[in-house]
Amino acid sequence: MNILLVEDDSIDFKAFVRAMEKLKIGNPVVHARDGVEGLEKLRAMPRPNLVILDINMPRMNGLEMLRKIREDARLRDTIVFVLTTSNDDEDKFEAYNLNVAGYMLKSDMGNSFVRAVSLVDNYWKVVEFPQAHAARA
């Protein structure tokens, strides 16, 4: 499984990678700095993949990118988690209406990233996907 982290803050990106190392998760992580770059990289990535998406970014924010993913027939089944500082209920409602797998807050740099990465890792270990999903990879 490939992970696309769409995050404009380089410190948050490094914290995410450190959390993966701490939990000994070796999945490849591709980094995009905004939604425009994120969509380009997602379209070029082999499947299956998972997107971890910040909301507050330049050019195209995370919710705009999420809308584009859901509108694209090839990408609409992409599993997306939101990892953001936005605790705004409107952002949460919109994200869940666009079928995110989870909405997580960056509360404190170290622990929130470790918890988020651990959740994503456990998600892939526990959730069952149809064979057709893997065959389209």
pLDDT in tens, 32-44: 999 999 999 999 9
Count the domains in the chain.
1
What domain range is 40 assigned to?
A: 2-108+118-135
| CB within 8 Å of 118: residues ≥ 6 apart | 19, 23
Is residue 25 in a domain? yes
CA-CA distance, 10 to 22, in Å (whole number)?
A: 18
Is residue 36 in a domain? yes
Residue 59 region by backbone torsions, left for phi larger than 0, else alpha for psi between -120 and 50, else beta? left
Question: In this predicted model, what pLDDT tens digit does every residue of 1-58 receive, in sequence order?
Answer: 788 999 999 988 998 888 888 888 888 889 999 999 999 999 999 876 889 999 999 9
| CB within 8 Å of 50: residues ≥ 6 apart | 1, 2, 3, 4, 78, 79, 80, 81, 120, 124
Q: Is 45 helix (H, G, I), strand (E, B) or coil?
A: coil
pTM value? 0.84
Whether the predicted pLDDT of 109 surpasses 90: no
**Domain CATH code at residue 83:** 3.40.50.2300
Is residue 113 in a domain? no
